């Protein structure tokens, strides 16, 4: 069976026989892959002219809703993905990381899109910048979707997660994607992609799939396209320096193989929770996905005085690992993805063995459960011990991308940091210590060379997501050898697919561009109190201005009695006079908020369902007894909760005194019904 590509809304086969794809355990041919004959220029043009246009018609929230619906659809059909995943060499646990991890990433981005992005098409990046004293000329950074195609080139080790973790932020940003999976395991990606197409949850042109090579696709890239690559540093270098990429300044993000370290703190002695957790983590990272993780632990850096104990504990644990056909429940670790991958791992292992002693495993044939050592791509979990990491070179330059790790000793915390940093840029480093001061020293020493640092101790171990688990909330990437890029990281990942532009103009212009009211813009008169307006009737700029209320000494003293806040600045005139900021007794800031609410709240039952918070509160001037305060309340931003019957409304709120001097400013957050009166 030949895998087919999905381009311009159709499934098409490539010319020729293609590359044979085999079951990693049995060697059986599963499928072949070829993209020969595809018109790659037409693929990119379809993404731009059809997919991009369709996605940009949707708001951020509508795109988020599509992601959530897609995640649910895949979740209900994931068992067929699990069945095929065994062919990649993955155990059921390995497949959970790949399949459920990928689907979970869709769910996270759907949630973040609803909660952290506006119900519109423009992302406002930071506050407006005043560019003139009058406030009539401002600057504002905005982000809008690039109008090209996101080309995603993925690695073989995570055929599902690797695709979905890139798709989620790109689609949420409004950018269509062209997915190119690694050929060795493309059969699983193709099945997952078929489900995506079957779901009908994404607009036409939003996603396309290429099974096989990329042909001349790079020759058709423009400045509006992006490339996100996962794989080897050598391939990344070749693609990054492609003349078209360089000439058109095509955005290129790379996540490449790296030498990741796990450090055992000097306080962790044998028998301590941190020691045992360290051993467990190293074994897990060596055997999950047969060590084929870009985040896997390659260097286990331990105190010299503990190295013998660590080596013994790791050897004991690794000798209990059952290697064989991942379909068997008794099997802990399956094969690497292909015979070619096995050859590569063994070649790199041979180079490491010049500097380190094999403790267990090695290049010999492993003992297998229900598997053929000749036909399957099996490697024994292999632990090495390097006694002089400071003089070693291969240890810090060579990665055997399989179940291989090396124990290396350190004398001081500074030397542990140095050993980890010699990897010249890593995706992740982890630290196991119960000493918070040591943890801080290690984190700050590792941070410049690592994209993520995990600290584990007995208090967080049960909830820790582990050394090798990239999370959609956090950046995945790293400097130097790790590729110099970032993926995911919450909304940061979405912004990779958007253009940041600085807009300059009047407050009214910025309000029109962003859909968010800017102070100084026109205030609109809704004709009734804004709190009487249902969500749909509210306009950005609708404003209520209250009458005045005098603040009295009795107000201050009553509020102190009710709240229990007897701070001297409110209660002791002599002491308050000595405060250079006040020069006498002042009203409580929180009394001002309460009094302001009394001035702007519309009491009867209406569309406003609840006040759920205040953002950006600042008290800018003191208020004393005898001052009069008034409130301006303006509809600043609206965000509809799809299908919930209500939306979130942000109100720009300003409290001023009798001289029109602002004494407090903040945003009031409310939930407003789509109906005039709930239930009406």
Residue 144 to residue 456: CA distance in whole angstroms = 39
Q: Which two tokens stand for residue 374?
A: 């000749």
Q: Give the residue from 106, 3, 22 showing the smallest Cα distance to 375.
A: 22
The SS3 call for residue 641 is strand
286 and 250 within one domain: no
* 306, 307, 309, 313: CA torsion to nearest 10: 130
Side-chain-facing half-sphere of 491: CA atoms under 13 Å: 14
Q: What is the mean pLDDT of residues 255-277?
A: 94
457 and 332 within one domain: yes
Asked if the structure places residue 19 within a domain, the reply is no
pLDDT at residue 96, rounded to an integer: 93
The SS3 call for residue 287 is helix
Q: What is the mean pLDDT of residues 550-573?
A: 94
Asked if the structure places residue 595 within a domain, the reply is yes
Could you tell me the residue range of the domain that residue 144 belongs to?
A: 38-257+492-499
352 and 224 within one domain: no
- Residue 680: pLDDT band (50, 70, 90) is very low
The mean predicted confidence, pLDDT, of the chain is 93
Asked if the structure places residue 158 within a domain, the reply is yes
- Please check whether residue 78 is in contact with residue 101, taking contact to mean a CB–CB distance below 8 angstroms: no
Q: Which two tokens stand for residue 263?
A: 């450090």
Q: Which helix (H) or strand (E) holds 576?
A: helix 573-577
- Please check whether residue 140 is in contact with residue 128, taking contact to mean a CB–CB distance below 8 angstroms: yes
- Please check whether residue 478 is in contact with residue 450, taking contact to mean a CB–CB distance below 8 angstroms: yes
Active site residue 281: no
Q: Is 450 exposed, middle or buried (0-12, 13-18, 19+ CB in 10 A)?
A: buried
Asked if the structure places residue 15 within a domain, the reply is no
Q: Give the residue from 351, 405, 356 showing the smallest Cα distance to 380.
A: 405
Q: Which of 147, 165, 190, 255 is catalytic?
A: 255
pLDDT at residue 668, rounded to an integer: 95
Residue 674 to residue 282: CA distance in whole angstroms = 54
pLDDT at residue 678, rounded to an integer: 54
State pLDDT tens for residues 40-75: 999 999 999 999 999 999 999 999 999 999 999 999
184 and 318 within one domain: no
The SS3 call for residue 353 is coil
Residue 105 to residue 112: CA distance in whole angstroms = 11
pLDDT at residue 372, rounded to an integer: 83
335 and 252 within one domain: no
Q: Is the pLDDT of residue 101 over 60?
A: yes
Q: Dihedral sign for Cα 182, 187, 192, 196, please.
A: positive
Residue 476 to residue 158: CA distance in whole angstroms = 14
- Residue carrying structure tokens 């007894």: 625
437-444's contacts with Cβ under 8 Å and 24+ in sequence apart are: 438/265, 438/266, 438/267, 438/413, 439/265, 441/413, 441/417, 442/263, 442/265, 442/413, 442/416, 442/417
The SS3 call for residue 219 is helix
Q: Measuring CA to CA, how many Å separate 87 from each of 91, 184, 193, 334?
A: 9, 11, 17, 10
Q: Is 198 exposed, middle or buried (0-12, 13-18, 19+ CB in 10 A)?
A: exposed
The string over 74-91, giving b where at least 16 C-beta atoms fall within 10 Å of a residue's C-beta and e elsewhere, is beeebeebbebbbbbbbb
- Residue carrying structure tokens 């060579």: 398
* Percent of residues, the chain, with pLDDT higher than 70: 100
265 and 251 within one domain: no
Q: 48: phi > 0 → left, psi -120 to 50 → alpha, else beta; which?
A: alpha
Q: What does the DSSP assignment read for 358-418? A: EEE--SSPPP-BS--TTTS-----EEEEES-TTT-SGGGT----SSEEEEEEESSHHHHHH
The SS3 call for residue 498 is strand
Residue 229's DSSP bridge partners are 153, 254
State pLDDT tens for residues 474-494: 999 999 999 999 999 999 999
Residue 407 to residue 549: CA distance in whole angstroms = 72
- Please check whether residue 432 is in contact with residue 277, taking contact to mean a CB–CB distance below 8 angstroms: yes
193-196's contacts with Cβ under 8 Å and 24+ in sequence apart are: 193/6, 193/163, 195/73, 195/74, 195/77, 195/81, 196/70, 196/74
Looking up residue 465, the CATH number of its domain turns out to be 3.40.309.10
Looking up residue 250, the CATH number of its domain turns out to be 3.40.605.10
What phi, psi does 502 have (nearest 5°)?
-90, 125
- Residue 364: pLDDT band (50, 70, 90) is confident
Asked if the structure places residue 608 within a domain, the reply is yes
- Residue 425: pLDDT band (50, 70, 90) is very high
Q: Dihedral sign for Cα 83, 87, 92, 96, please.
A: negative
Q: What is the mean pLDDT of residues 639-668?
A: 92
> How many domains does the chain fold into?
3
Helix axes 553-563, 589-600, angle to 10 degrees: 110
Q: Is the pLDDT of residue 606 over 90?
A: no
Asked if the structure places residue 296 within a domain, the reply is yes
Q: Which helix (H) or strand (E) holds 647?
A: strand 646-657
- Residue 18: pLDDT band (50, 70, 90) is confident
Asked if the structure places residue 311 within a domain, the reply is yes
- Please check whether residue 446 is in contact with residue 452, taking contact to mean a CB–CB distance below 8 angstroms: no
Active site residue 294: yes
Q: Is the pLDDT of residue 15 over 90?
A: no
278 and 234 within one domain: no
State pLDDT tens for residues 3-14: 999 999 999 888
pLDDT at residue 367, rounded to an integer: 82
pLDDT at residue 1, rounded to an integer: 79
- Please check whether residue 376 is in contact with residue 24, taking contact to mean a CB–CB distance below 8 angstroms: yes
547 and 449 within one domain: no
326 and 354 within one domain: yes
Q: Is the pLDDT of residue 97 over 60?
A: yes
- Please check whether residue 366 is in contact with residue 291, taking contact to mean a CB–CB distance below 8 angstroms: no
322 and 454 within one domain: yes
Q: Which helix (H) or strand (E) holds 669?
A: strand 662-673
* Domain final residue, candidates 484, 499, 514: 499
Q: Is the pLDDT of residue 679 over 80?
A: no
359 and 248 within one domain: no
Q: Measuring CA to CA, how many Å separate 121 from each of 146, 252, 316, 515, 639?
A: 12, 24, 56, 9, 12
- Residue 222: pLDDT band (50, 70, 90) is very high
Q: Which of 294, 355, 487, 635 is catalytic?
A: 294
69 and 206 within one domain: yes
Asked if the structure places residue 669 within a domain, the reply is yes
């Amino acid at each position: 069976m030949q895998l087919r590509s999905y381009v311009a809304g159709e499934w098409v086969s490539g010319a020729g026989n293609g590359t044979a794809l085999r079951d990693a355990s049995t060697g059986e041919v599963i499928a072949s892959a070829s993209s020969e004959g595809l018109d790659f220029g037409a693929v990119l043009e379809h993404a731009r002219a059809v997919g991009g246009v369709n996605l940009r018609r949707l708001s951020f929230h509508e795109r988020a809703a599509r992601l959530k619906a897609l995640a649910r659809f895949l979740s209900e059909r994931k068992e067929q993905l699990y069945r095929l995943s065994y062919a990649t060499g993955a155990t059921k646990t390995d497949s959970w990381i790949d399949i459920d991890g990928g689907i979970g990433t869709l769910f996270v981005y759907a949630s973040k899109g609803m909660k952290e992005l506006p119900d519109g098409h423009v992302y406002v990046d930071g506050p407006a910048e005043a560019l003139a004293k009058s406030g009539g000329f401002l600057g504002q950074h905005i982000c809008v979707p690039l109008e090209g195609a996101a080309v995603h080139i993925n690695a073989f080790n995570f055929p599902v997660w690797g695709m979905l973790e890139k798709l989620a932020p790109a689609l949420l940003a409004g950018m269509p994607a062209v997915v190119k999976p690694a050929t060795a395991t493309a059969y699983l990606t193709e099945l997952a992609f078929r489900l995506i197409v079957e779901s009908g949850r994404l607009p036409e042109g939003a996603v396309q799939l290429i099974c096989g090579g990329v042909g001349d696709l790079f020759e058709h890239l423009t400045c509006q396209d992006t490339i996100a690559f996962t794989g080897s540093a050598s391939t990344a270098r070749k693609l990054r320096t492609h003349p078209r990429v360089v000439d058109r300044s095509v955005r290129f993000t790379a996540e490449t193989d790296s030498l990741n370290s796990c450090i055992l703190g000097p306080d962790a002695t044998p028998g301590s929770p941190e020691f045992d957790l360290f051993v467990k983590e190293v074994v897990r990272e060596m055997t999950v996905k047969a060590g084929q993780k870009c985040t896997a632990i390659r260097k286990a850096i331990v105190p010299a005085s503990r190295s013998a104990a660590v080596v013994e504990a790791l050897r004991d644990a690794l000798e209990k690992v059952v290697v064989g056909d991942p379909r068997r429940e008794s099997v802990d670790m399956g094969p690497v993805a292909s015979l070619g991958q096995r050859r590569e791992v063994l070649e790199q292992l041979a180079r490491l063995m010049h500097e380190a002693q094999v403790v267990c495993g090695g290049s010999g044939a492993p003992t297998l459960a229900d598997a053929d050592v000749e036909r399957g791509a099996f490697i024994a979990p292999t632990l090495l011990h390097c006694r002089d990491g400071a003089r070693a070179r291969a240890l810090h330059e060579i990665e055997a991308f399989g179940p291989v790790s090396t124990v290396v000793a350190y004398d001081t915390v500074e030397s542990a940091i140095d050993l980890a940093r010699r990897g010249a840029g890593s995706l992740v480093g982890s630290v196991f210590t119960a000493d918070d001061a040591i943890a801080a020293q290690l984190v700050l020493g590792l941070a410049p060379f690592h994209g993520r640092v995990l600290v584990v101790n007995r208090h967080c171990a049960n909830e820790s997501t582990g050394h090798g688990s990239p999370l959609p909330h956090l950046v995945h990437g790293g400097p130097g050898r790790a590729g110099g890029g970032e993926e995911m990281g919450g909304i940061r990942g979405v912004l990779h697919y958007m253009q940041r532009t600085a807009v300059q103009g009047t407050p009214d212009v910025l309000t029109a561009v962003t859909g968010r009211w800017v102070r100084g813009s026109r205030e609109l008169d809704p004709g009734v109190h804004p709190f009487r307006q249902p969500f749909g009737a509210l306009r950005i700029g609708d404003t209520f201005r209250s009458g005045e209320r005098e603040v009295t000494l009795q107000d201050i003293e009553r509020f102190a009695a009710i709240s229990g806040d007897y701070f001297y600045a409110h209660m002791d005139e002599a002491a308050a006079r000595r405060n250079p900021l006040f020069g006498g007794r002042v009203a409580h800031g929180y009394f001002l908020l309460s009094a302001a609410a009394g001035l702007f709240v519309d009491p009867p039952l209406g569309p406003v369902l609840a006040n759920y918070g205040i953002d950006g509160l600042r008290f800018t001037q003191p208020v004393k007894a005898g001052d009069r305060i008034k409130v301006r309340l303006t509809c600043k931003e609206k965000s509809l909760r799809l299908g919930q019957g209500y939306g979130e409304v942000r109100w720009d709120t300003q409290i001023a005194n009798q001289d029109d001097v602002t004494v407090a400013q903040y945003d009031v957050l409310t939930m407003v019904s789509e109906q005039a009166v709930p239930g009406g």
